[in-house]
């Protein structure tokens, strides 16, 4: 009863921001992402009567507190599915230091779901895996699939899961991940920030109303491989999400001065003839979207700016898969 899975993180082009159901993690709006190879997680799960409690080891350290509790809660959900009571050992490794300020919950929960289901002998379709993963961490439901992915808030029967819009070979988009702050400086968890935004921002409803048309444009941009449309809409939706967070009470600003400097630089790069657009999640770091033919020139420009701490060049990746090399 042991299995190992590999999953990649994803970058939202149309963001998920706000939950309709906090327990089940049902979002208020559909979201669209690209699955990227920049941050991946490998997780081995073993269920055995020899374990008297669940153990979770992340990047060689035994996890405690909130990180541990979230994994145990997710294991409980999967054990319930399989009608098993066995405790598990979970060993997980990110290919990227966790302290980089890049969220790892999407790749982490997708890998955990796929590995634990296989270890428990649960035969699940990708759609079912996505639904299970969603309950561990919302955005992780998109990492079950590779390429371009849409998380459907409700399929008409009350089910919420991700679907693939196009696979990773459809379009060679590039995501230049700019590490602007190496430590997470968040005051609130994403969960808490979304809750505050929904309850208190007068802009929450306005953003939600704008989302349908942005989703349509994004689907069209992907279908037609229209980079200008994809980038313009992604940047706009990112700013809508941050405007909602900023106007909640208490207000939430995820950016630092480095983020703002970088935001101002992006239109200047475009004016120089280098097509690129930004998107930012609930943190200070930035994803710069571009096309392969412009990547080198953009990197040469970025090198001039010493406030950028690290640069990671990402391409599109495939979905979560079972692999044969166990971590223990
Ligand atoms: O799934 P969570 O709780 O990590 O929330 C993700 C929220 C954003 O990254 C800001 C947007 C998104 O769709 O990924």
DSSP per residue over 284-325, as a string?
S-EEEEE-HHHHHHHHHHHTT-TT--EEEEEEB----EEES-
Q: CA–CA separation, 15 vs 282, rounded Å? A: 10
Nearest ligand 1 atom to alpha carbon 189: 3
Q: CA–CA separation, 135 vs 109, rounded Å? A: 9
Nearest ligand 1 atom to alpha carbon 151: 13
Q: CA–CA separation, 255 vs 180, rounded Å? A: 10
pLDDT of residue 203: 98
Q: CA–CA separation, 122 vs 319, rounded Å? A: 18
Residue 292 burial (C-beta neighbours within 10 Å; 0-12, 13-18, 19+): exposed
Partners of residue 61 on adjacent β-strands? 58
pLDDT of residue 210: 96
Partners of residue 150 on adjacent β-strands? 32, 163
Nearest ligand 1 atom to alpha carbon 105: 4
Q: CA–CA separation, 318 vs 326, rounded Å? A: 20
CA of 86 to the centre of ligand 1 (A): 31
CA of 191 to the centre of ligand 1 (A): 9
pLDDT of residue 93: 95
> 36: helix, coil or strand?
strand
Task: Give the residue, by CA position, lying nearest to ligand 1 atom 10.
Answer: 281
CA of 292 to the centre of ligand 1 (A): 26
Q: CA–CA separation, 13 vs 33, rounded Å? A: 5
Cα–Cα nearest to 11, from 147, 136, 108, 166? 147
12 lines ligand 1 (CB under 6 A): yes
Q: CA–CA separation, 218 vs 12, rounded Å? A: 11
- CB contact at 8 A, 276 and 298: yes
Q: CA–CA separation, 35 vs 106, rounded Å? A: 10
* Helix (H) or strand (E) run with residue 127 in it: helix 126-134
Q: CA–CA separation, 123 vs 7, rounded Å? A: 18
- CB contact at 8 A, 25 and 132: no
Q: Specify the DSSP class assigned to residue 43.
A: E
pLDDT of residue 99: 52
pLDDT of residue 45: 98
16 lines ligand 1 (CB under 6 A): yes
- CB contact at 8 A, 130 and 144: yes
Nearest ligand 1 atom to alpha carbon 103: 4
Nearest ligand 1 atom to alpha carbon 190: 3
pLDDT of residue 104: 73
Nearest ligand 1 atom to alpha carbon 31: 13
Q: CA–CA separation, 30 vs 28, rounded Å? A: 7
CA of 22 to the centre of ligand 1 (A): 14
- List, for the chain, all residue ranges whose pLDDT scores fall below the cut of 50: none
133 lines ligand 1 (CB under 6 A): no
27 lines ligand 1 (CB under 6 A): no
137 lines ligand 1 (CB under 6 A): yes
Q: What is the pTM of this model?
A: 0.97
282 lines ligand 1 (CB under 6 A): yes
Backbone angles phi, psi at 304, to 5 degrees: -75, -10
């Amino acid at each position: 009863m042991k299995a190992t899975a590999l999953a990649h993180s994803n970058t939202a082009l149309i963001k998920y921001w706000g939950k309709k159901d906090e327990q089940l993690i049902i979002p208020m709006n559909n979201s669209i992402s690209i699955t990227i190879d920049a941050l991946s997680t490998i997780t081995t799960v073993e269920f055995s009567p020899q374990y008297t409690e669940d153990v979770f080891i992340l990047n060689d350290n035994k996890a405690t507190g909130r990180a541990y509790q979230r994994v145990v809660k997710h294991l409980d959900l999967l054990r319930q599915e399989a009608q098993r009571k066995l405790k598990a050992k979970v060993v997980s490794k990110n290919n990227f230091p966790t302290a980089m300020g890049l969220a790892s919950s999407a790749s982490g929960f997708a890998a955990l779901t796929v590995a634990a289901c296989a270890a428990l002998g649960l035969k699940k379709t990708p759609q079912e895996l996505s639904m299970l993963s969603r309950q561990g961490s919302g955005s992780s439901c998109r990492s079950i699939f590779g390429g371009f992915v849409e998380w459907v808030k409700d399929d008409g029967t009350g089910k919420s899961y991700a679907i693939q819009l196009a696979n990773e070979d459809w379009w060679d988009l590039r995501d230049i991940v700019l590490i602007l702050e190496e430590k997470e400086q968040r005051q609130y968890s994403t969960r808490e920030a979304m809750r505050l935004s929904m309850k208190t921002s007068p802009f929450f409803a306005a953003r939600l109303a704008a989302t349908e048309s942005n989703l349509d444009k994004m689907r069209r941009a992907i279908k037609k491989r229209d980079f200008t449309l994809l980038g313009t809409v992604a940047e706009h939706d990112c700013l809508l999400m941050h405007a909602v967070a900023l106007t909640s009470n208490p207000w939430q600003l995820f950016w630092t001065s480095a983020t703002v400097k970088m935001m101002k630089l992006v239109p200047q790069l475009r004016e120089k003839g280098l097509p690129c657009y930004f998107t930012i999640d609930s943190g200070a770091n930035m994803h710069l979207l571009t096309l392969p033919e412009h990547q080198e020139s953009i990197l040469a420009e970025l090198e001039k700016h010493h406030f950028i701490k690290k640069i990671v060049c990402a391409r599109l990746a495939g979905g979560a898969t079972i692999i044969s090399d166990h971590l223990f």
